[in-house]
Structure formats: structure tokens, C-alpha cells
Amino acid sequence: MPFSRTFGRSLRPAQRRCPDAPAQRQYLTRVAAAAMTAAMLAGCASTGPQGQAFGQDPRDPLESFNRSMYSFNDGLDRAILRPVATGYQKAVPSPVRTGVGNFFGNLGDAWSFVNNVLQFKGEASMSSFFRVAVNSTFGLGGLLDVATEMRLERYKTDFGMTLGHWGVPSGPYLVLPFWGSSSIRDAAALPVDAYGNPLFHLNPDSHRYALYGLRLVDARARLLRASDMLDQAALDPYVMTRDLYLSSRNPGSGGDGMLDDDYDADAGALPDEDESAAAPAAAQ
């Protein structure tokens, strides 16, 4: 409708009838509801999924950056890593995957032994030492986790936890691209952890990188069920991931600085024949 005609009608009050009171109240109610909705949407634009502004958590002042890195890593995981890990889980028999996990767990125990010694933890150091000794000799180089059958506990730790044990603060929570949850302290400790991994000293390079890739895929396959539960249960997966990581890295949270074990508690035991037969049936 032309501009002049529109305003021409508004200037002729005799030709327009004033709305009755109920219609006017209904109109005002709709306008107020629209205004409230717009205000709520404007507020959500600067706050997190739970109504909390980014950076309000004192442990996570870099939340805006961390969320962007979390989204990047999650997209990469969904596009590449998760499908590869799912195919690995379906194609590789369970006993073989158990042996792969035991092998890398044994290498991790060797570095945990060094860090437990640096933290002056006698029981953890002795347990880590005997786990490596037993699994490397009687466990076919770590493919069998005989130490778990002998009730030798796994005390998994790293250099970041060693720094924390001696009073180095963790600093803000930090999400690293291609890596995931970390902190300023743990990120600074990563080069030392990489050097302490026995795989770092393996030659030729092609063998080392192949084992790195196998370890990554195997670790992701072991977390498939946990990530599915996280996607289904968490209102904000970022917050839950952050809180779980920070609680596991906090020496005062009851874990005495010990990291949660990435591997199953019964990782050393081969699955029973009944369980092996039941797994494909359950999948169907």
C-alpha cells in the first residue's frame, strides 16, 4: 500500500472506529509478551546454556575461547575419529582390543612409576613398578594384564599431577585444539609427558606414528559408550566434561592426585566365552 494512502487513512478519524476495551487489552497483552520474548532472547545471546554468563566460573575465565575449541574438537571427533573408532570396535575382536589396551596401559604404568616416585608416594610407586615388571615379563610384553589378576592397583599419574603435588597451581581450565580438556599447568607439562612416554623414543618414526595412531583410536573406542551417554544425559556437555576433568585433576577431590583409569578394571582378563557369544547377539 502506498505511503500517502496509509497515513491518509490515519488522518481521517471519522472513518476509523476505536477498538473496544477487550480487544485493546488483548492487543496490549500480545505486545507485552513479544517484548518479554525479545528481552529473553537478547539475554541468551550473551549467556551460556544454563543462563550463566561466559567466564563467571572462576575456574574457567576463558570459557568463550574454550567453548569454541570444544566445538571444533567435537566436530572433528564426529566427522573422523568417532567413525574410525566405531569401525575399529566392530572389526577388531574383543580379545585383540583388550591386548592393545593392556599394551598401552603397561607403557603408561612405566611413566606413572616415575611420577609416583617424584611425588614420594611409596605404595603407588611400588605398585606401578611391579605392574610393569610382571606384565612385561609374564604378560607377553604387556599384552596380558597379569598384574590386575594379582590385585596390583594401577596408580595412573603424569607430570602435571607431579607439579600439582609440589604446589604448582593448575591455573585456568583450558581446551586445546586436537587434544581436549587441560589447564595451563597441564598444558605446560605436556612436552615432559610426551618425552616420558616410551613410544617417543621408538625408531623408526613410521613405527612410532603408527603406534600413536593405534593408541588414539583404541582409546577413543573405549570411550564410545561414555560419549554416547554424555550426549544423551548432559544438558550442557561442555560443562559436564569440564567439571569431570577438573575434579579428576584436583588432589583435594578424594583421588589423592591419581587420575581415573582409562581402561577397564578387568582389562587383564580375556572375556568369557559366554560374554563373547552374547555380545554380537546384544548388538543385534
Residues 72-88 have a mean pLDDT of: 97
* Helix, strand, coil shares, percent, the chain, to 5: 65, 5, 30
| CA dist 162 → 72, 113, 128, 180 (Å) | 30, 11, 15, 20
pTM of the model: 0.70
- Residue 131's alpha-carbon distances to 66, 178, 260, in angstroms, are 37, 31, 17
**ω before 271 within 30° of 0 (cis)?**
no
Cα 248-182-84 angle, rounded to 5 deg: 95
- Helices (H) and strands (E) in the chain — how many of each? 13, 2
* Structural contact between residues 164 and 185, judged by C-beta atoms closer than 8 angstroms: yes
227-272 pLDDT, tens per residue?
888 888 778 999 999 999 999 987 554 444 444 444 443 444 444 4
Q: Of 55-69, 220-234, 260-274, which range is least confident? A: 260-274
Calculate the dihedral angle through the C-alpha atoms of 89, 90, 96, 101, rounding to the nearest 10 degrees: 0
Q: How confident is the model at residue 284 (pLDDT cuts 50, 70, 90)?
A: very low
Task: Give the model's pLDDT for residue 7.
Answer: 39
DSSP 23-44: HHHHHHHHHHHHHHHHHHHHHH
pLDDT band at 2 (very low <50, low <70, confident <90, very high): very low
178 vs 45 pLDDT, higher one: 178
The packing angle between helices 184-196 and 94-118, to 10°, is 110
Q: What is the CA radius of gyration of the chain?
A: 28
What's the rounded Cα separation, in Å, for the pair 280 and 284? Answer: 6
